Amino acid sequence: MTTVPEPLSEAENPVRSLDADALRTHAAAALTRSRARSEVLTGAVDDEELSKQHSPLMSPLVWDLAHIGSQEELWLVRDVGGREPVRPEIDELYDAFKHARADRPGLPLLSPAEARAYVGQVRRKAFDVLDTVPLRGRRLTEAGFAFGMITQHEQQHDETMLATHQLRTGEAVLHAPDPPARRTGPLPAEVVVPGGSFLMGTSAEPWALDNERPAHPVHVGTFAIDTFPVTNAEFAAFADSGGYRQERWWTAEGWAHVQRHGLIAPRFWRREGGRWWRRRFGIDEPVPADEPVQHVCFHEAQAYARWVGKRLPTEPEWEKAARFDPATGHSRRYPWGEQEPGPEHANLGQRHLRPAVAGAYPAGASALGVHQLVGDVWEWTSSDFRPYPGFAAFPYQEYSEVFFGPGYRMLRGGSFGTDAAAVRGSFRNWDLPVRRQIFAGFRCARDVAGPDGGN
């Protein structure tokens, strides 16, 4: 039997066709949205809490704030704008590659008042640059790329600062309404993704970062993937059955890690009165059964998958499940299509301070019928961080290239703490396989025999 070749192409990005004024409005709105969130996260605690370190894993919040301003100054004010430096003497203090997070509290950092004044001053200059610089003709500013890069940078620090809030002790200071309840009826537990090529990565998204580029065909064998992320109840069954004490579910590296650190459950969980409780942004509550599990590391995700007779999806499998439209052969921008993420599609942007239950976002399902790939929790994949064929570092090597290699595992899809600007279907995140403070969960996959299966 011969098969018809699939038309591998990428959905066009509407941002690309915006005129200069519309692009400026789009960029300004994204910058303003990220600053509003930074202000909430840094305004929720007093100066003492802003300046102290809540965990050796994290920077003091006031470091994040001034670092956001420092990067904005370097790229938008000095490079794109060609303006005079605002505070060149602090460049080195806020260079993430010069000082490990654990060392940052000991640096002569700007005070909270100085940091706020600094980021405000930089933002006024950045907006002035945005008003005047041409958004065509130079790669760094084409379709507003540098403004998109800096807004994504701030939003990524907003998620990091949210993780700092999760690690801090003391009463709750952040508040948000709960996410929507389940809206779907019962669905099959898995979706079979037919084997064949799809277009991975992007060459059409103007604000895509270097590691997402270029778009390239990837063959993926037939496989099945869970319709929803693994829930707390499902993961608790693994913990309750002794999964953390049984070596056979773990890789050698994972088992050594569990033993060394005495892990018995996801981070922030504790057993009390015969049930699991958790601490979430200063609130103690019973672990909700139907929410996607979070605060598990790659090793825990991998062990659970083995316990249920499955495995983690590879990064190409995850992206195919999210983006591939079998009716057209196109790769979509988002699981639901080309439309920018709205509240009906996914739990994003710190609108809610927890994942939504499985089945809460039917309008966000992918063409193949996989739900909640974007938002709620980042999802661990089994892949390490590799460049795509044709990768070229841009605009600097430290963005991605220095992290390539086997040390990191890829996370996809974004969490409730991630902004809509950093969850396009091609977006790639990475972290160390032992990290648990991030808002990460997972879903499982397994091999299925199919016409293009048997990989």
Binding site, annotated residues for gamma-L-glutamyl-L-cysteine: 101-104, 431, 435
Structure tokens at 438: 């991030």
What's the CA gap between 378 and 189, in Å, rounded?
Answer: 19
Q: How far is CA 171 from CA 44, 166, 167, 179, 190, in A?
A: 11, 11, 12, 22, 40
What's the length of the chain? 455
Annotated binding-site positions for Fe cation: 67, 153, 157
Structure tokens at 383: 């892949």
CA 246 to chain CA mean position, Å: 31
SS3 readout for 95-154: CCCCCCHHHHHHCCCCCHHHHHHHHHHHHHHHHHHHHHCCCCCCHHHHHHHHHHHHHHHH
Annotated binding-site positions: 67, 101-104, 153, 157, 431, 435
What's the CA gap between 445 and 322, in Å, rounded?
Answer: 13
Structure tokens at 319: 């992206």
CA 416 to chain CA mean position, Å: 9
Q: What is the CA radius of gyration of the chain?
A: 22
Question: Which residue reads 């974004």 in tokens?
Answer: 414
